[in-house]
Structure 1
Amino acid sequence: MNIGAHYLGKRVVVTGCSSGIGQATARLLVEAGADVHGLDIKPAELDLASFRYLDLRDLRSIDSAALSISGPIDALFNCAGIPPGPSPIDVMKVNFVGTRYLTELLVPKMAPGSAVANVASNGGAGWPQRLALLKELTATESFEAAAAWYEQNAPALPSAYSVSKEAVIVWTMRASGDWIKRGIRVNCTSPGAVQTPMLDEIQKVTPAALIDVVAQPIGRRSSAEEQAWPLLFLNCPLASYINGATLPVDGGFIASGIVAAR
Protein backbone atom coordinates (compact mmCIF):
# COMPACT_ATOMS: atom_id res chain seq x y z
CA MET A 1 0.00 0.00 0.00
CA ASN A 2 1.74 3.16 -1.24
CA ILE A 3 -0.10 6.03 0.45
CA GLY A 4 2.19 8.67 -1.00
CA ALA A 5 1.37 7.66 -4.57
CA HIS A 6 -2.17 8.94 -4.08
CA TYR A 7 -0.89 12.50 -3.63
CA LEU A 8 1.10 12.83 -6.85
CA GLY A 9 0.00 16.08 -8.47
CA LYS A 10 -2.63 16.78 -5.80
CA ARG A 11 -3.13 20.29 -4.44
CA VAL A 12 -2.99 20.23 -0.64
CA VAL A 13 -2.89 22.72 2.24
CA VAL A 14 -1.02 22.12 5.50
CA THR A 15 -1.29 24.37 8.54
CA GLY A 16 1.51 24.34 11.08
CA CYS A 17 3.95 23.31 8.35
CA SER A 18 7.04 24.80 10.00
CA SER A 19 7.53 22.31 12.82
CA GLY A 20 6.36 19.13 14.45
CA ILE A 21 3.57 17.06 12.97
CA GLY A 22 2.74 19.72 10.39
CA GLN A 23 6.31 19.86 9.12
CA ALA A 24 6.52 16.07 8.87
CA THR A 25 3.19 15.96 7.04
CA ALA A 26 4.22 18.66 4.58
CA ARG A 27 7.58 17.00 3.95
CA LEU A 28 6.01 13.61 3.19
CA LEU A 29 3.56 15.29 0.82
CA VAL A 30 6.34 17.18 -0.98
CA GLU A 31 8.28 13.92 -1.34
CA ALA A 32 5.14 12.29 -2.76
CA GLY A 33 4.92 14.91 -5.50
CA ALA A 34 2.01 16.91 -4.13
CA ASP A 35 1.49 20.63 -4.74
CA VAL A 36 1.88 21.69 -1.10
CA HIS A 37 0.72 25.07 0.18
CA GLY A 38 1.89 25.75 3.71
CA LEU A 39 0.48 28.05 6.37
CA ASP A 40 2.21 28.97 9.62
CA ILE A 41 3.24 31.82 11.86
CA LYS A 42 6.92 30.97 11.23
CA PRO A 43 8.67 30.39 7.87
CA ALA A 44 8.94 26.81 6.67
CA GLU A 45 12.24 25.25 5.59
CA LEU A 46 10.65 23.07 2.94
CA ASP A 47 10.37 23.18 -0.85
CA LEU A 48 6.69 24.17 -0.85
CA ALA A 49 4.61 25.32 -3.79
CA SER A 50 3.79 28.36 -1.65
CA PHE A 51 3.99 29.58 1.93
CA ARG A 52 1.70 32.08 3.60
CA TYR A 53 1.86 33.69 7.02
CA LEU A 54 -1.01 32.62 9.26
CA ASP A 55 -1.87 33.63 12.82
CA LEU A 56 -4.90 31.61 13.88
CA ARG A 57 -5.58 34.05 16.71
CA ASP A 58 -6.18 36.87 14.23
CA LEU A 59 -9.33 37.01 12.13
CA ARG A 60 -7.75 39.26 9.49
CA SER A 61 -4.74 36.98 9.15
CA ILE A 62 -7.00 33.99 8.57
CA ASP A 63 -9.10 35.88 6.03
CA SER A 64 -5.98 36.98 4.14
CA ALA A 65 -4.44 33.50 4.07
CA ALA A 66 -7.66 31.83 2.93
CA LEU A 67 -8.30 34.43 0.24
CA SER A 68 -4.81 33.94 -1.20
CA ILE A 69 -5.26 30.19 -1.74
CA SER A 70 -7.13 29.36 -4.90
CA GLY A 71 -8.95 26.11 -5.54
CA PRO A 72 -9.37 23.36 -6.11
CA ILE A 73 -7.97 21.95 -2.86
CA ASP A 74 -7.78 18.16 -2.76
CA ALA A 75 -6.83 17.80 0.91
CA LEU A 76 -6.51 20.01 3.98
CA PHE A 77 -4.32 19.02 6.92
CA ASN A 78 -5.02 21.05 10.07
CA CYS A 79 -1.83 20.45 12.06
CA ALA A 80 -1.30 23.88 13.64
CA GLY A 81 -1.58 23.99 17.40
CA ILE A 82 -0.04 25.43 20.55
CA PRO A 83 0.55 23.89 24.00
CA PRO A 84 -0.90 25.02 27.32
CA GLY A 85 0.31 28.52 28.09
CA PRO A 86 -0.34 31.76 29.93
CA SER A 87 -3.16 32.81 27.57
CA PRO A 88 -5.99 30.25 27.55
CA ILE A 89 -7.94 32.21 24.92
CA ASP A 90 -4.95 32.06 22.56
CA VAL A 91 -4.78 28.28 23.03
CA MET A 92 -8.49 27.99 22.27
CA LYS A 93 -8.26 30.24 19.20
CA VAL A 94 -5.31 28.44 17.63
CA ASN A 95 -6.34 24.89 18.42
CA PHE A 96 -10.04 25.18 17.63
CA VAL A 97 -11.68 28.56 16.92
CA GLY A 98 -9.27 29.81 14.26
CA THR A 99 -8.76 26.35 12.80
CA ARG A 100 -12.49 25.90 12.35
CA TYR A 101 -12.88 29.36 10.81
CA LEU A 102 -10.05 28.79 8.32
CA THR A 103 -11.46 25.39 7.36
CA GLU A 104 -14.92 26.83 6.73
CA LEU A 105 -13.35 29.36 4.36
CA LEU A 106 -11.46 26.66 2.46
CA VAL A 107 -14.12 23.96 2.24
CA PRO A 108 -16.00 25.79 -0.58
CA LYS A 109 -12.79 25.43 -2.63
CA MET A 110 -12.83 21.66 -2.18
CA ALA A 111 -14.44 19.33 -4.73
CA PRO A 112 -16.24 16.03 -4.12
CA GLY A 113 -13.70 13.39 -3.20
CA SER A 114 -11.53 15.77 -1.18
CA ALA A 115 -10.92 15.44 2.56
CA VAL A 116 -9.94 17.23 5.76
CA ALA A 117 -7.77 15.77 8.54
CA ASN A 118 -7.60 17.54 11.91
CA VAL A 119 -5.05 16.92 14.65
CA ALA A 120 -6.70 16.58 18.05
CA SER A 121 -4.99 14.90 21.04
CA ASN A 122 -5.58 12.19 23.58
CA GLY A 123 -5.65 15.20 25.90
CA GLY A 124 -9.13 15.65 24.47
CA ALA A 125 -10.31 12.15 25.41
CA GLY A 126 -12.66 13.57 28.05
CA TRP A 127 -15.07 14.95 25.44
CA PRO A 128 -17.92 12.53 26.29
CA GLN A 129 -18.13 13.98 29.82
CA ARG A 130 -18.62 17.50 28.42
CA LEU A 131 -20.56 16.72 25.27
CA ALA A 132 -23.47 19.05 26.01
CA LEU A 133 -21.16 22.04 26.51
CA LEU A 134 -18.98 21.10 23.54
CA LYS A 135 -22.06 20.90 21.33
CA GLU A 136 -22.84 24.48 22.38
CA LEU A 137 -19.30 25.60 21.57
CA THR A 138 -19.13 23.86 18.21
CA ALA A 139 -22.57 25.16 17.28
CA THR A 140 -21.42 28.80 17.52
CA GLU A 141 -21.62 30.40 14.10
CA SER A 142 -18.56 32.65 13.97
CA PHE A 143 -15.01 33.16 15.17
CA GLU A 144 -16.13 35.93 17.52
CA ALA A 145 -19.04 33.94 18.93
CA ALA A 146 -16.88 30.90 19.65
CA ALA A 147 -14.22 33.01 21.38
CA ALA A 148 -16.89 34.81 23.44
CA TRP A 149 -18.51 31.49 24.42
CA TYR A 150 -15.19 30.18 25.68
CA GLU A 151 -14.36 33.28 27.69
CA GLN A 152 -17.79 33.19 29.31
CA ASN A 153 -17.60 29.49 30.19
CA ALA A 154 -13.87 29.12 30.89
CA PRO A 155 -14.15 29.35 34.72
CA ALA A 156 -16.21 26.14 34.79
CA LEU A 157 -14.00 24.24 32.36
CA PRO A 158 -10.67 22.38 32.68
CA SER A 159 -7.54 23.54 30.84
CA ALA A 160 -7.96 25.39 27.56
CA TYR A 161 -5.72 22.84 25.87
CA SER A 162 -7.92 19.90 26.84
CA VAL A 163 -11.14 21.69 25.96
CA SER A 164 -9.76 22.92 22.63
CA LYS A 165 -8.83 19.37 21.62
CA GLU A 166 -12.17 18.03 22.84
CA ALA A 167 -13.82 20.68 20.66
CA VAL A 168 -11.81 19.54 17.63
CA ILE A 169 -13.10 16.00 18.09
CA VAL A 170 -16.74 17.04 18.50
CA TRP A 171 -16.51 19.55 15.62
CA THR A 172 -15.05 16.82 13.40
CA MET A 173 -18.03 14.61 14.13
CA ARG A 174 -20.50 17.46 13.64
CA ALA A 175 -18.94 18.61 10.35
CA SER A 176 -18.70 15.07 8.97
CA GLY A 177 -22.45 14.80 8.63
CA ASP A 178 -22.73 18.09 6.75
CA TRP A 179 -19.71 18.06 4.45
CA ILE A 180 -20.17 14.50 3.27
CA LYS A 181 -23.27 15.74 1.45
CA ARG A 182 -20.81 17.70 -0.72
CA GLY A 183 -18.59 14.63 -1.06
CA ILE A 184 -16.02 15.95 1.44
CA ARG A 185 -14.85 13.72 4.28
CA VAL A 186 -13.45 14.96 7.60
CA ASN A 187 -11.64 12.95 10.28
CA CYS A 188 -9.13 13.58 13.03
CA THR A 189 -6.24 11.88 14.76
CA SER A 190 -5.65 11.79 18.48
CA PRO A 191 -1.88 11.75 19.10
CA GLY A 192 -0.28 10.71 22.36
CA ALA A 193 3.19 11.81 23.43
CA VAL A 194 5.01 13.08 20.33
CA GLN A 195 8.64 14.24 20.40
CA THR A 196 8.21 17.68 18.83
CA PRO A 197 9.04 21.29 19.76
CA MET A 198 5.54 21.55 21.27
CA LEU A 199 6.35 18.73 23.69
CA ASP A 200 9.53 20.59 24.63
CA GLU A 201 7.36 23.54 25.62
CA ILE A 202 4.97 21.34 27.57
CA GLN A 203 7.92 19.87 29.49
CA LYS A 204 8.75 23.33 30.79
CA VAL A 205 5.63 23.18 32.96
CA THR A 206 5.00 19.42 33.14
CA PRO A 207 7.43 16.84 34.58
CA ALA A 208 8.82 14.47 31.96
CA ALA A 209 7.83 11.50 34.12
CA LEU A 210 4.19 12.58 33.93
CA ILE A 211 4.38 12.96 30.15
CA ASP A 212 5.91 9.51 29.85
CA VAL A 213 2.85 8.01 31.53
CA VAL A 214 1.03 8.89 28.28
CA ALA A 215 3.71 6.94 26.38
CA GLN A 216 2.51 3.65 27.85
CA PRO A 217 2.05 0.81 27.06
CA ILE A 218 4.32 1.17 24.02
CA GLY A 219 7.06 2.62 26.21
CA ARG A 220 8.29 5.47 24.04
CA ARG A 221 7.23 8.76 22.49
CA SER A 222 6.29 8.79 18.83
CA SER A 223 8.09 10.69 16.11
CA ALA A 224 6.32 13.40 14.14
CA GLU A 225 6.48 11.21 11.05
CA GLU A 226 4.63 8.42 12.85
CA GLN A 227 1.81 10.93 13.31
CA ALA A 228 1.99 12.24 9.74
CA TRP A 229 1.44 8.94 7.92
CA PRO A 230 -1.98 8.33 9.53
CA LEU A 231 -3.02 11.84 8.46
CA LEU A 232 -2.01 11.09 4.87
CA PHE A 233 -3.98 7.86 5.03
CA LEU A 234 -7.15 9.54 6.30
CA ASN A 235 -7.09 12.13 3.52
CA CYS A 236 -6.37 9.73 0.65
CA PRO A 237 -8.81 7.59 -1.41
CA LEU A 238 -7.76 4.46 0.50
CA ALA A 239 -9.87 5.84 3.38
CA SER A 240 -12.84 6.75 1.18
CA TYR A 241 -15.43 5.25 3.58
CA ILE A 242 -13.94 6.70 6.76
CA ASN A 243 -15.78 9.84 7.87
CA GLY A 244 -16.23 11.50 11.25
CA ALA A 245 -13.69 9.23 12.92
CA THR A 246 -11.15 9.94 15.64
CA LEU A 247 -8.10 7.73 15.11
CA PRO A 248 -5.95 7.23 18.24
CA VAL A 249 -2.26 7.41 17.34
CA ASP A 250 -1.00 6.98 20.88
CA GLY A 251 0.71 3.60 21.13
CA GLY A 252 -2.33 2.10 22.86
CA PHE A 253 -2.62 4.57 25.76
CA ILE A 254 -6.38 5.22 25.44
CA ALA A 255 -7.17 1.56 24.76
CA SER A 256 -5.22 0.29 27.77
CA GLY A 257 -6.80 2.95 29.97
CA ILE A 258 -10.32 1.93 28.95
CA VAL A 259 -9.63 -1.72 29.70
CA ALA A 260 -7.97 -0.95 33.03
CA ALA A 261 -10.97 1.13 34.11
CA ARG A 262 -13.42 -1.76 33.67
Structure 2
Amino acid sequence: MSLDIFRLDGKVALITGGNRGIGLATAKLFGEAGAKCLLSARSETDESRALCEGENFAFVPGDITDPATPGKLVDATMEKFGRLDVLVNNAGVADGGDFHNFDDERLDRIMSTNLIAPFRVARACIRPMLDQGAGSIVNIGSISGYVANKPQLQVAYNSSKAAIHQMTAVMAFEYASRGIRVNALAPGYIRTRMAIDGMEDPAMSKVWQENTPMGRFGEPEEMASCALFLASDAASYVTGATLVADGGYITH
Protein backbone atom coordinates (compact mmCIF):
# COMPACT_ATOMS: atom_id res chain seq x y z
CA MET A 1 0.00 0.00 0.00
CA SER A 2 1.32 3.42 -0.96
CA LEU A 3 1.34 6.55 1.19
CA ASP A 4 -0.40 8.20 -1.77
CA ILE A 5 -3.69 7.19 -0.14
CA PHE A 6 -3.17 10.17 2.19
CA ARG A 7 -3.00 12.58 -0.74
CA LEU A 8 -5.83 14.70 -2.11
CA ASP A 9 -4.60 15.27 -5.65
CA GLY A 10 -7.40 16.49 -7.89
CA LYS A 11 -9.76 16.98 -4.94
CA VAL A 12 -11.50 20.20 -3.94
CA ALA A 13 -12.29 21.06 -0.32
CA LEU A 14 -14.60 23.63 1.26
CA ILE A 15 -13.41 24.66 4.73
CA THR A 16 -15.58 26.84 6.97
CA GLY A 17 -13.92 28.83 9.71
CA GLY A 18 -10.91 28.77 7.42
CA ASN A 19 -9.31 32.06 8.37
CA ARG A 20 -7.43 30.88 11.46
CA GLY A 21 -6.82 28.02 13.89
CA ILE A 22 -7.80 24.49 12.92
CA GLY A 23 -9.48 25.60 9.69
CA LEU A 24 -6.45 27.47 8.37
CA ALA A 25 -4.02 24.74 9.43
CA THR A 26 -6.23 22.20 7.64
CA ALA A 27 -6.29 24.29 4.47
CA LYS A 28 -2.50 24.51 4.45
CA LEU A 29 -2.07 20.77 4.92
CA PHE A 30 -4.74 19.92 2.35
CA GLY A 31 -2.92 22.16 -0.10
CA GLU A 32 0.34 20.33 0.56
CA ALA A 33 -1.55 17.08 -0.06
CA GLY A 34 -2.63 18.29 -3.49
CA ALA A 35 -6.10 19.69 -2.86
CA LYS A 36 -7.61 22.96 -3.98
CA CYS A 37 -9.42 24.74 -1.17
CA LEU A 38 -12.12 27.34 -0.79
CA LEU A 39 -12.00 28.92 2.66
CA SER A 40 -14.78 30.88 4.28
CA ALA A 41 -15.23 32.92 7.45
CA ARG A 42 -16.75 36.24 8.40
CA SER A 43 -13.50 38.00 7.51
CA GLU A 44 -9.99 37.27 6.34
CA THR A 45 -6.85 37.33 8.44
CA ASP A 46 -3.42 38.31 7.17
CA GLU A 47 -2.44 34.64 7.15
CA SER A 48 -5.50 33.44 5.25
CA ARG A 49 -5.14 36.34 2.80
CA ALA A 50 -1.54 35.37 2.09
CA LEU A 51 -2.50 31.71 1.60
CA CYS A 52 -5.28 32.60 -0.82
CA GLU A 53 -2.90 34.49 -3.07
CA GLY A 54 -2.03 31.05 -4.42
CA GLU A 55 -4.01 29.77 -7.41
CA ASN A 56 -5.17 26.65 -5.55
CA PHE A 57 -6.88 28.64 -2.79
CA ALA A 58 -9.79 31.05 -2.63
CA PHE A 59 -11.54 32.94 0.16
CA VAL A 60 -15.23 33.81 0.24
CA PRO A 61 -16.45 35.86 3.21
CA GLY A 62 -19.76 34.91 4.75
CA ASP A 63 -21.84 34.71 7.88
CA ILE A 64 -22.33 30.98 8.31
CA THR A 65 -25.54 31.54 10.28
CA ASP A 66 -27.20 33.24 7.30
CA PRO A 67 -29.39 30.55 5.65
CA ALA A 68 -28.26 31.76 2.22
CA THR A 69 -24.54 31.37 2.92
CA PRO A 70 -24.16 27.57 2.53
CA GLY A 71 -25.59 27.61 -0.99
CA LYS A 72 -23.43 30.58 -1.93
CA LEU A 73 -20.30 28.81 -0.70
CA VAL A 74 -21.09 25.67 -2.68
CA ASP A 75 -21.84 27.73 -5.79
CA ALA A 76 -18.57 29.63 -5.37
CA THR A 77 -16.63 26.39 -4.96
CA MET A 78 -18.16 24.87 -8.06
CA GLU A 79 -17.63 28.04 -10.08
CA LYS A 80 -13.99 28.40 -9.00
CA PHE A 81 -12.85 24.78 -9.04
CA GLY A 82 -15.55 22.81 -10.87
CA ARG A 83 -16.26 20.18 -8.22
CA LEU A 84 -16.57 19.58 -4.47
CA ASP A 85 -15.06 16.50 -2.86
CA VAL A 86 -14.45 17.36 0.78
CA LEU A 87 -16.21 19.50 3.38
CA VAL A 88 -14.51 20.43 6.63
CA ASN A 89 -17.39 21.79 8.71
CA ASN A 90 -15.24 23.76 11.14
CA ALA A 91 -16.84 27.12 11.96
CA GLY A 92 -17.98 27.41 15.56
CA VAL A 93 -18.19 29.58 18.66
CA ALA A 94 -17.94 28.95 22.39
CA ASP A 95 -19.73 30.53 25.32
CA GLY A 96 -20.29 29.51 28.90
CA GLY A 97 -21.91 30.34 32.20
CA ASP A 98 -24.41 29.06 34.71
CA PHE A 99 -27.20 27.07 33.06
CA HIS A 100 -29.93 28.91 34.97
CA ASN A 101 -28.59 32.29 33.81
CA PHE A 102 -27.88 31.34 30.18
CA ASP A 103 -30.17 33.64 28.21
CA ASP A 104 -31.90 32.89 24.92
CA GLU A 105 -29.75 35.27 22.88
CA ARG A 106 -26.57 33.40 23.82
CA LEU A 107 -28.31 30.03 23.39
CA ASP A 108 -29.46 30.99 19.90
CA ARG A 109 -25.94 32.12 18.97
CA ILE A 110 -24.40 28.83 20.07
CA MET A 111 -26.98 26.60 18.40
CA SER A 112 -27.28 28.60 15.19
CA THR A 113 -23.49 28.63 14.70
CA ASN A 114 -22.50 25.22 16.04
CA LEU A 115 -25.43 23.05 14.95
CA ILE A 116 -27.88 24.65 12.54
CA ALA A 117 -25.21 26.21 10.30
CA PRO A 118 -23.14 22.99 10.00
CA PHE A 119 -26.36 21.11 9.21
CA ARG A 120 -27.15 23.55 6.41
CA VAL A 121 -23.59 23.56 5.04
CA ALA A 122 -23.46 19.76 4.96
CA ARG A 123 -26.89 19.64 3.32
CA ALA A 124 -25.73 22.02 0.58
CA CYS A 125 -22.50 20.09 0.01
CA ILE A 126 -24.22 16.70 -0.19
CA ARG A 127 -25.92 17.63 -3.46
CA PRO A 128 -22.82 17.95 -5.70
CA MET A 129 -21.27 14.97 -3.90
CA LEU A 130 -24.32 12.90 -4.83
CA ASP A 131 -23.95 14.00 -8.44
CA GLN A 132 -20.32 12.87 -8.38
CA GLY A 133 -21.12 9.67 -6.50
CA ALA A 134 -18.38 10.37 -3.95
CA GLY A 135 -17.43 12.74 -1.17
CA SER A 136 -16.08 13.07 2.33
CA ILE A 137 -17.44 15.26 5.12
CA VAL A 138 -15.51 16.02 8.29
CA ASN A 139 -17.62 17.69 10.97
CA ILE A 140 -15.66 19.33 13.77
CA GLY A 141 -17.11 18.29 17.10
CA SER A 142 -15.36 18.42 20.46
CA ILE A 143 -14.51 16.42 23.54
CA SER A 144 -17.14 18.70 25.06
CA GLY A 145 -19.67 16.50 23.29
CA TYR A 146 -18.63 13.69 25.64
CA VAL A 147 -17.78 15.31 28.98
CA ALA A 148 -18.69 18.09 31.36
CA ASN A 149 -15.69 20.38 31.10
CA LYS A 150 -14.14 21.90 34.18
CA PRO A 151 -13.74 24.42 35.65
CA GLN A 152 -15.81 26.30 33.04
CA LEU A 153 -19.56 25.76 32.74
CA GLN A 154 -20.78 25.48 29.14
CA VAL A 155 -23.85 23.30 28.81
CA ALA A 156 -25.07 24.91 25.57
CA TYR A 157 -21.73 24.49 23.81
CA ASN A 158 -21.38 20.89 24.99
CA SER A 159 -24.90 20.10 23.83
CA SER A 160 -24.24 21.57 20.39
CA LYS A 161 -21.12 19.44 19.94
CA ALA A 162 -22.84 16.25 21.13
CA ALA A 163 -25.48 16.95 18.49
CA ILE A 164 -22.77 17.26 15.84
CA HIS A 165 -21.46 13.81 16.75
CA GLN A 166 -24.94 12.31 16.41
CA MET A 167 -25.63 14.20 13.20
CA THR A 168 -22.41 12.72 11.83
CA ALA A 169 -23.43 9.16 12.66
CA VAL A 170 -26.89 9.46 11.12
CA MET A 171 -25.60 11.19 7.98
CA ALA A 172 -23.02 8.44 7.58
CA PHE A 173 -25.72 5.80 7.78
CA GLU A 174 -27.87 7.57 5.22
CA TYR A 175 -25.18 8.15 2.59
CA ALA A 176 -22.78 5.22 2.97
CA SER A 177 -24.34 3.36 0.06
CA ARG A 178 -24.03 6.43 -2.17
CA GLY A 179 -20.28 6.89 -1.93
CA ILE A 180 -20.20 9.63 0.70
CA ARG A 181 -18.34 9.18 3.97
CA VAL A 182 -19.19 11.34 6.99
CA ASN A 183 -16.97 11.49 10.06
CA ALA A 184 -16.30 13.87 12.92
CA LEU A 185 -13.19 15.09 14.68
CA ALA A 186 -13.42 15.83 18.40
CA PRO A 187 -10.49 18.00 19.48
CA GLY A 188 -9.45 18.52 23.06
CA TYR A 189 -7.86 21.73 24.28
CA ILE A 190 -6.17 23.16 21.19
CA ARG A 191 -4.12 26.33 21.01
CA THR A 192 -6.59 28.46 19.05
CA ARG A 193 -8.21 31.85 19.58
CA MET A 194 -11.27 30.12 21.03
CA ALA A 195 -9.25 28.63 23.88
CA ILE A 196 -6.42 31.12 24.30
CA ASP A 197 -8.03 33.14 27.11
CA GLY A 198 -8.31 30.01 29.25
CA MET A 199 -4.80 28.92 28.35
CA GLU A 200 -3.45 32.28 29.48
CA ASP A 201 -5.37 32.07 32.77
CA PRO A 202 -2.97 30.28 35.16
CA ALA A 203 -5.73 28.71 37.25
CA MET A 204 -7.78 27.46 34.33
CA SER A 205 -4.75 26.38 32.33
CA LYS A 206 -3.51 24.33 35.28
CA VAL A 207 -6.81 22.42 35.52
CA TRP A 208 -6.97 21.78 31.79
CA GLN A 209 -3.43 20.45 31.59
CA GLU A 210 -3.72 18.37 34.74
CA ASN A 211 -6.78 16.69 33.26
CA THR A 212 -4.96 15.95 30.00
CA PRO A 213 -2.78 12.86 30.52
CA MET A 214 -0.26 14.03 27.91
CA GLY A 215 0.14 17.18 30.02
CA ARG A 216 0.00 19.72 27.21
CA PHE A 217 -2.32 21.50 24.83
CA GLY A 218 -2.74 20.42 21.23
CA GLU A 219 -1.77 22.44 18.18
CA PRO A 220 -3.99 23.24 15.18
CA GLU A 221 -1.57 21.37 12.92
CA GLU A 222 -2.18 18.18 14.92
CA MET A 223 -5.91 18.50 14.23
CA ALA A 224 -5.23 19.19 10.56
CA SER A 225 -3.44 15.85 10.21
CA CYS A 226 -6.46 14.09 11.71
CA ALA A 227 -8.77 15.90 9.29
CA LEU A 228 -6.52 14.87 6.40
CA PHE A 229 -6.76 11.22 7.41
CA LEU A 230 -10.56 11.35 7.60
CA ALA A 231 -10.87 13.23 4.31
CA SER A 232 -8.47 11.02 2.36
CA ASP A 233 -8.66 7.52 0.94
CA ALA A 234 -6.58 6.40 3.90
CA ALA A 235 -9.94 6.35 5.73
CA SER A 236 -11.83 4.70 2.87
CA TYR A 237 -13.55 2.20 5.21
CA VAL A 238 -14.24 4.76 7.94
CA THR A 239 -17.64 6.42 8.18
CA GLY A 240 -19.85 7.41 11.08
CA ALA A 241 -16.82 7.66 13.38
CA THR A 242 -15.82 10.44 15.73
CA LEU A 243 -12.04 10.62 16.04
CA VAL A 244 -11.07 11.98 19.46
CA ALA A 245 -7.78 13.90 19.49
CA ASP A 246 -7.41 15.21 23.01
CA GLY A 247 -4.15 14.06 24.56
CA GLY A 248 -6.11 11.48 26.54
CA TYR A 249 -8.53 13.91 28.24
CA ILE A 250 -11.62 11.70 28.06
CA THR A 251 -9.84 8.57 29.29
CA HIS A 252 -10.65 9.36 32.91
Other-structure match for 1:81? 92
Other-structure match for 1:109? 128
Deviation, 1:200, is 1.6
Q: Distance in 2 between matches of 1:3 and 1:81?
A: 31
Does the CA contact (< 8 Å) of 2:5 and 2:233 recur in 1? no
Deviation, 1:5, is 5.4
Aligned length: 225
Under a length normalisation based on structure 1, what TM-score does the superposition of the two structures give?
0.79
- The residue correspondences of 1:41-56 to structure 2 (distance < 5 A) are 41-43=42-44, 44-45=48-49, 46-47=51-52, 49-56=57-64
In angstroms, what is the RMSD of aligned CA positions?
2.3
Deviation, 1:210, is 3.1
Q: Distance in 2 between matches of 1:37 and 1:83?
A: 24
Query: Percent of aligned positions with the same letter in both sequences?
Result: 30
Does the CA contact (< 8 Å) of 1:195 and 1:222 recur in 2? yes
Structure 2: stretches of 5+ with no match in the other structure: 97-104, 149-153
Does the CA contact (< 8 Å) of 1:83 and 1:202 recur in 2? no
Deviation, 1:31, is 2.1
Under a length normalisation based on structure 2, what TM-score does the superposition of the two structures give?
0.81
Other-structure match for 1:146? none
Deviation, 1:207, is 2.5
Deviation, 1:197, is 0.9
Q: Distance in 2 between matches of 1:189 and 1:125?
A: 12
1:113-154 per-residue CA deviation (whole Å, 9 max, x = no partner) reads: 321111100001059xxxxxxxxxxxxxxxxxxxxxxxxxxx
Moved >6 Å (runs of 4+): none
1:13-51 per-residue CA deviation (whole Å, 9 max, x = no partner) reads: 111111110010001112223111111112123135321
Q: Distance in 1 between matches of 2:197 and 2:60?
A: 24
Question: SS at 1:117's partner residue?
Answer: strand
1:185-216 per-residue CA deviation (whole Å, 9 max, x = no partner) reads: 000111111011111245589822333244x1
- The residue correspondences of 1:1-262 to structure 2 (distance < 5 A) are 2=3, 6-43=7-44, 44-45=48-49, 46-47=51-52, 49-70=57-78, 71-84=82-95, 87-110=106-129, 111-126=132-147, 159-202=155-198, 207-214=204-211, 216-255=212-251, 257=252
Deviation, 1:228, is 0.7
Q: Distance in 2 between matches of 1:125 and 1:53?
A: 32
Task: Mark the CA change 1:87 to 1:3 in structure 2 (over 3 Å): closer, same or farther.
Answer: farther
Other-structure match for 2:151? none
Q: Distance in 2 between matches of 1:61 and 1:116?
A: 18
